[in-house]
Amino acid sequence: MQQRDISRAVAKRPGATLATLGLFLSSAANASTLAGTEILNVAQASYANAEGDTQVIMSNPVTITVEELIDFVVTTVDEDQQTVDGGDNDVRTQLRIVNLGNGPEGFAITVDETLGDDDFDPTVTEVVLDTNGNGQYDPLEDEVYRPGAEPELNPDEGIDIFVMTKVPVGAVDRERGVLRIDVASTTGTGERGLVFEDAGHGGVDAMLGETGGQVRNDVTLITLLNMPVLEKAQLIEGGDGSGAVITYTLTADFRGAAAKDAVLSDPIPAGTTYVPGSLALSGTALTDFAGDDAGAFDGEAIAVTLTETTIPQTVTFQVMVN
Amino acid sequence: MRQGAAETMTIRALFIAAAAFALPFGAHAAPVELKSEIFVERTEVSDSGETELVLAPADRVVPGDKLRFVISFVNASDEEAANFVITNPVPGSIAYLSADGPVTPEVSVDGEQFGALGDLTVAGADGSVRPAETADVTHVRWAFDAIAPNSEGEVRYLGELK
């Protein structure tokens, strides 16, 4: 973390102009008429006069100038819900801004992590722009967003942003923390149709489109503490000296995930002897031989390949105290 | 900063305005004249809660607006204007939608051949031919047999600002 921050400080170019941003063109290019375009209409008529001569006349030219429409979308690149671990200090939420308007527009980003109706408040460490435009977070190349140097997008251009957060250490399983991410036109916000005179591209008026110059995304971080949990319990029968039999029960819980090719192995404790044929997986007996089923005892340790399931599984075996 | 569409003109008011402009023409020497105007169609909700279409001066337009082009004509002479044909090239930023007038409008997708839209075709780059659509229209025209002496009228077409 420390090293990354230093690297970025070096890579950051304070004087970088907007033109250096690696923007991409939206695939949904709508080819809106650019703000400032003049539309000229002239009609023509021809007719024959009383002498039979053809006359051609033109109307007056009418010109109107296209004003700027501020319109854009902001969407989450992944899901509106993200699973995180408690204490995770490198949570990344990726969103995409696309300028659907007909003029260049700047976009201010604010994140509110202190909403009241969730379980925890993530800590926003920074917002990073996908400066190189590759859709990936590149700490050495992508620049940190700073108010006052908002990304500016031409019509149909888009840029990804990464909201970086930390999850509090104390968060427990299945808790929710909501990030409210607002993206606003730097020209202004308000009701649809609101006009900012002379504030558009080239001095034309700017008018707020459908979104009113602001788009809000609420992204929910959900703690899913999916670190596998392995518990071991023992039951001693027949006294506590030589000849006593200890039954070990190992419970593997992958916390809602299905682990593939997970192998649970456990060496036989010193001073004990494995009880042949005592191995079982979730109540089903296994042989001690390798290769014929999921379990084996190799003379020193038991090993069981767990089933790929979200249900907690138990492995049991017995040893006798020497 | 102020709300758009501050000044509006109803369709009825437009017709009054169109009729009124005949007066200056009458004082003019030119026997036949054309006048082109552009209005923007806006949907407004009246005090009674009804939605109504309002024509406003096109002094502030943005992509998606529907523009109504009105071409008025006046024959201020004592002579008939025969084979009177009004032709209006559709500006490049306008997607043609419809037209109307005292005579049936004709459209063109190349500026040369005119007719009903359904009778026109468009050739693709690969040589294939498809029926023309409104988006293909480049010109609209109205062909009158004649315009009577001392008469006037108007034709209209509607387009969307791309």
Task: Give percent of chain A with pLDDT exceeding 70.
Answer: 89
B43 band by pLDDT with thresholds 50, 70 and 90: confident
User: Residue A2: enclosing H or E segment and its boundaries?
Assistant: helix A2-11
Q: A-contacting residues of B 102-141, CB under 8 Å?
A: none
pTM of the model: 0.68
A69 band by pLDDT with thresholds 50, 70 and 90: very high
Long-range contacts of A257-260 (CB under 8 A, 24+ apart): A257/A226, A257/A228, A257/A310, A258/A308, A258/A309, A258/A310, A259/A228, A259/A306, A259/A308, A260/A308
Is the alpha carbon torsion for A113, A114, A115, A118 positive or negative? positive
- Asked whether the beta carbons of residue A59 and residue B71 sit closer than 8 angstroms, the reply is yes
Q: Check CB contact of B51 with chain A, cutoff 8 Å.
A: no
Q: Check CB contact of A193 with chain B, cutoff 8 Å.
A: yes
With 50 as the cut, is the pLDDT of residue B138 above it? Answer: yes
B101 band by pLDDT with thresholds 50, 70 and 90: very high
Q: Check CB contact of A29 with chain B, cutoff 8 Å.
A: no
Residue with tokens 């429409």: A69
Read off the pLDDT of each residue in A255-261 and give the average, rounded to a whole number. 74
Residues of A in contact with B29 (CB under 8 A): none
Q: How far, in Å, CA of A288 to CA of B88, rounded?
A: 92
Residues of A in contact with B153 (CB under 8 A): none
Residue A184: both structure tokens together: 């606003």
CB contacts < 8 Å between A and B, how many? 117
**Helices (H) then strands (E): counts for chain A:** 1, 26
A238 band by pLDDT with thresholds 50, 70 and 90: confident
Is the alpha carbon torsion for A217, A198, B65, B160 positive or negative? negative
User: Residue B79: enclosing H or E segment and its boundaries?
Assistant: none
> Quick one: pLDDT at residue A26?
52
Lowest mean pLDDT among A298-302, B19-23, B86-90: B19-23
Read off the pLDDT of each residue in A21-25 and give the average, rounded to a whole number. 55
- Asked whether the beta carbons of residue B63 and residue A33 sit closer than 8 angstroms, the reply is yes
Q: Check CB contact of A66 with chain B, cutoff 8 Å.
A: yes
A3 band by pLDDT with thresholds 50, 70 and 90: very low
> Quick one: pLDDT at residue A240?
74
Read off the pLDDT of each residue in B66-74 and give the average, rounded to a whole number. 97
Residue A143: both structure tokens together: 């620049």
Residues of B in contact with A60 (CB under 8 A): 34-36
- Among A59, A60, A67, beta carbon nearest to B62: A67
A168 against A65, higher pLDDT: A65
Q: A66: which DSSP letter? A: B
Q: How far, in Å, CA of A200 to CA of A206, rounded?
A: 4
Residue A93: both structure tokens together: 């939420």
A226 band by pLDDT with thresholds 50, 70 and 90: low
With 80 as the cut, is the pLDDT of residue A15 above it? Answer: no
A262 band by pLDDT with thresholds 50, 70 and 90: confident
- Asked whether the beta carbons of residue A207 and residue B81 sit closer than 8 angstroms, the reply is no
Ramachandran assignment for A135, one of left (phi > 0), alpha (psi -120 to 50 degrees), beta (any other): left
Residue A285: both structure tokens together: 């007996």
> Quick one: pLDDT at residue A4?
31
Q: How far, in Å, CA of A84 to CA of A94, rounded?
A: 14
With 50 as the cut, is the pLDDT of residue B22 above it? Answer: no
Strands A81-84 and A214-223, sheet pairing? parallel
Find, in chain B, the residue whose alpha carbon is nearest to that of A45: B86
Looking at CA atoms only, how far is residue B94 from chain A in angstroms? 8
Residue with tokens 């009228």: B153
Residue B24 three-state SS: helix
- Asked whether the beta carbons of residue B93 and residue A39 sit closer than 8 angstroms, the reply is yes
> Quick one: pLDDT at residue A125?
95
Find, in chain B, the residue whose alpha carbon is nearest to that of A198: B1
A209 against B8, higher pLDDT: A209
With 50 as the cut, is the pLDDT of residue A18 above it? Answer: no
Q: How far, in Å, CA of A75 to CA of A215, rounded?
A: 9
**Helices (H) then strands (E): counts for chain B:** 2, 12
With 50 as the cut, is the pLDDT of residue B16 above it? Answer: no
A88-113 residue pLDDT tens: 788 999 999 999 999 999 999 999 99
A113-130 residue pLDDT tens: 998 889 999 999 999 999
